[in-house]
Structure 1
Amino acid sequence: MAAIIVRTIFLSVLWGTYIYDSSQNSISMIVLMLICSLSFALFFITPVSRHRLFLYICQTLLLLISSLVSPEPLLAWCIFCYFHLEASIQLLPGTYRMFMYSGILFFGIEAFLFWDSYTPAVIPFFAMFFFMTWKVNEGSHDLKEQRNLYDQLLGEYRKLKRVLYVTERNSKAEERTRIAREIHDSVGHNLTALLMKIEMLSIQHGRSLFKEIKNLAADSLDETREAVKALKEGEIEGIQSVIQLIRKLESESAVMVELTTQQGVLSTRLSNKQNIAVYRCIQEGITNAMKHSSVKEVKVMLGKTALGHLHFKITNQLDDVRPFQMGFGLTNMKERVEELGGRLEIHQTDKEFILRGAFPVEEVATA
């Protein structure tokens, strides 16, 4: 935004000075003001147009016309140099060469019509100028290619990190399952056999003698079963796991996710079902943004309400506002949140699509 303002001010100064120098001739000044208006219209259209070469050539033609009606075309050449320098940054090398050829043609026509008013030093100056802009064009294009390559490598790096993360989690899950099986098959069976023998001895020698031992063995068996169950279910993770999943979505869908977390939410512990619910809601919000908006940006806010409930808000901009219908994705989201005892709200304004939900968080005791 700041760059556009600076460029606009600079171009305004050039055109203002050009028109002021031609103010002695009212007809020339009126024509230049009209050309200036057209030039600014093209200037603001060019960044969002797919036909930038055509618009830059139109700028050149406007400057050629202005030099025919102005007694002092020096400032027209300054504006010409400005547009060529800007085009060398904006256009691809092949496209810019075509524009550079049109600029050389423009210079040739000007030199032919007003040769008496130019000095011989003008030719080497513009030769150096065109050579410089050509090199600037090549350098800026190489820089953009390097930036794109960096973005691609960064995307591959993120995918590899995600694969490594998933592989590590799977390895941990397999190890937990293996340990759980070993505990169940060895310690669990031994404790069960011990309980049976204690029961037999208590029948033979009296229950009161072995009651305490039996209770201790039963408690040990229950604790072993709880440990096996915990190992099989895996770790109960919190918002950190949701953030990992958001990173995965961002790297795979080429959508920029702006994540905001409020105080206290990062330490919130969630069950696996709650993790999945939050993740699916964010995933659906990103899917909506990809379908209904050209601005690939989604804002996600995670926080806690005054009641201690987990609160989330997902926002994306809209290009074409249409009445939305509850499709399968939104219906599934609502059912997930309601199953957790929460509520999901869906709003659509003239500019944004908003998903807002909250559900109670059960405190998970840690051993």
Structure 2
Amino acid sequence: MKYFWIRFLIFVALWVFMILTYSNQVGLSILFFSAAIGVFFFFSLQHVSIYLYLLLTVIIVLHGILLTDNYLFPILLLLFESIIASYRMNGNRLILFLSVQLILSIGFIYAQSEQIGFFLLVMMAYYIIFTMNQQRAELLEQRQMYEELVGEYRKLKRINLLNEENVRTEERNRIARDIHDSVGHRLTALIMKLEMLAIQTKNDEYRALKHMAEESLGETRQAVKALQQADNEGIATVVNLIRKLEAQSQMVVQFTIKQGALTVPLLNHHSVVLYRVIQEALTNAMRHGESREVQVIIGKSPIGDITFEIMNAIYKARPYEEGFGLTGMRKRVQEVQGRLDVYQKENKFIVSGIIPAGEGG
């Protein structure tokens, strides 16, 4: 919006100088000026039709032909309008519009009987405008390709992390099976042997040894169960969620885990809340955000709690009401004695909060 007002002031200045310097009828010139200002304000919209630019061209040309003695300022106004259009148009539409502007400018130069130097200068100006537009289009294309490449790189990185986790899981399961097949079976056989000896000899020491073996067998089974249990809670779940959303929605997620966040112990219920809140925030950004790029930051607060922040870009801050999704997020976080903040800052929509740590569940 700042650049619009700069362009607006330049546009107004050109009209004012033209009216004060070369206008034959100031009253009628002010009417043309008012109409031009009204059309120019529509240029602040996100999507502007080429017909609106042509309407402003007609106003400038009619004023130049009917109410001015010198065509310098109409030519400058057409040139300035072409510069603005070059930032909003591409391809054949821009070529058509610049061609119309150039022909009209040449007509003004011919009618004014200006020297060939001024004609060449105007030609050069329109050539520069077209060249800058082409360079800008190439730059935007390169930026889009870069974002796509970054997105693909992050997807590959997520897949690589997932494959590493699968390898670790398979290795844990293999170790668990080996422990169960070897140590577990031998302890079971030892317990049976000690039970037989205790019955045959009526010796309490055998029963004590049997009790110790049973305890060892129980601890072994707990260790096997722990090895076989998949680690799908807390931060690992969030990473998996982001990987799926990237693959399904073509979103580009900048995921940052700050130092110390992975060491924060979370109760199972708190891990589920963290999972659901970030899931809802990402879905909300996907539905209502004006950019496919989302930033997710997981951190650790000074008192050891988990902090989270999800940011997505917006072109213009607008009043919003918390819908069912945001209300549900807030209730989930409050149920675990946490805090959730939803706000807009400059060109970003931010969901942030804190989830208390616990003794791992």
Tell me if the contact between 1:258 and 1:298 (Cα under 8 Å) persists in the aligned partners.
Answer: yes
Tell me if the contact between 1:242 and 1:279 (Cα under 8 Å) persists in the aligned partners.
Answer: yes
* Equivalent-residue separation in structure 1 for 2:352 and 2:270 (angstroms): 15
* Equivalent-residue separation in structure 1 for 2:330 and 2:27 (angstroms): 68
Query: TM-score under structure 1 normalisation?
Result: 0.74
Distance 1:272 1:236, change over 3 A: farther
* Equivalent-residue separation in structure 2 for 1:99 and 1:141 (angstroms): 17
1:115 match: 112
* Equivalent-residue separation in structure 2 for 1:254 and 1:9 (angstroms): 41
* Equivalent-residue separation in structure 2 for 1:323 and 1:363 (angstroms): 33
Distance 1:363 1:86, change over 3 A: same
Distance 1:276 1:168, change over 3 A: farther
- Bigger drift between 285-294 and 169-178 goes to 285-294
2:21 match: 21
* Equivalent-residue separation in structure 1 for 2:277 and 2:70 (angstroms): 64
* Equivalent-residue separation in structure 2 for 1:175 and 1:31 (angstroms): 82
1:180 match: 176
1:220 match: 216
Residue identity opposite 2:37 in structure 1: S
Could you report, residue by residue, the CA deviation over 1:244-268 in whole angstroms, capped at 9, with x for unpaired residues? Answer: 6346535643557798999986643
Give the CA RMSD over aligned residues: 4.5
Tell me if the contact between 1:21 and 1:72 (Cα under 8 Å) persists in the aligned partners.
Answer: no
Aligned pairs for 1:127-146 (under 5 A) are: 127-146=123-142
- Bigger drift between 236-245 and 182-191 goes to 236-245
In structure 2, list runs of 5 or more residues that go unmatched. Answer: 344-348
* Equivalent-residue separation in structure 2 for 1:160 and 1:258 (angstroms): 14
How many Å apart are 1:231 and its aligned residue? 0.7
Residue identity opposite 2:61 in structure 1: L
Aligned pairs for 1:1-367 (under 5 A) are: 1-22=1-22, 25-27=25-27, 29-45=29-45, 48-51=46-49, 53-68=50-65, 69-112=67-110, 114-116=111-113, 118-235=114-231, 238-239=234-235, 241-242=237-238, 245-246=241-242, 248-249=244-245, 252-254=248-250, 267-270=263-266, 274-291=270-287, 337=332, 342=336, 362-364=358-360
Query: TM-score under structure 2 normalisation?
Result: 0.75
In the alignment of these two chains, the number of paired residues is: 355
How many Å apart are 1:173 and its aligned residue? 1.6
Q: Secondary structure at the match of 1:171?
A: helix
Q: Secondary structure at the match of 2:116?
A: coil
- Bigger drift between 144-153 and 188-197 goes to 144-153
Q: Secondary structure at the match of 1:135?
A: helix
How many Å apart are 1:229 and its aligned residue? 0.7
Distance 1:15 1:250, change over 3 A: farther
Tell me if the contact between 1:249 and 1:283 (Cα under 8 Å) persists in the aligned partners.
Answer: no
Tell me if the contact between 2:258 and 2:299 (Cα under 8 Å) persists in the aligned partners.
Answer: yes
Tell me if the contact between 1:22 and 1:71 (Cα under 8 Å) persists in the aligned partners.
Answer: yes
Distance 1:347 1:269, change over 3 A: closer
Could you report, residue by residue, the CA deviation over 1:210-246 in whole angstroms, capped at 9, with x for unpaired residues? Answer: 3553344333222211110111113475336525634
Could you report, residue by residue, the CA deviation over 1:67-117 in whole angstroms, capped at 9, with x for unpaired residues? Answer: 2223343233223222222323332122211112111221243234x233x
Distance 1:136 1:220, change over 3 A: same
How many Å apart are 1:61 and its aligned residue? 2.0
Tell me if the contact between 1:261 and 1:302 (Cα under 8 Å) persists in the aligned partners.
Answer: yes
Could you report, residue by residue, the CA deviation over 1:141-197 in whole angstroms, capped at 9, with x for unpaired residues? Answer: 222222222222222222222222222222222221122111111111111111222
How many Å apart are 1:311 and its aligned residue? 7.7
Identity %: 33
Distance 1:181 1:58, change over 3 A: same
In structure 1, list runs of 5 or more residues that go unmatched. Answer: none
* Equivalent-residue separation in structure 2 for 1:261 and 1:185 (angstroms): 39
- Bigger drift between 242-251 and 103-112 goes to 242-251
Tell me if the contact between 2:309 and 2:351 (Cα under 8 Å) persists in the aligned partners.
Answer: yes
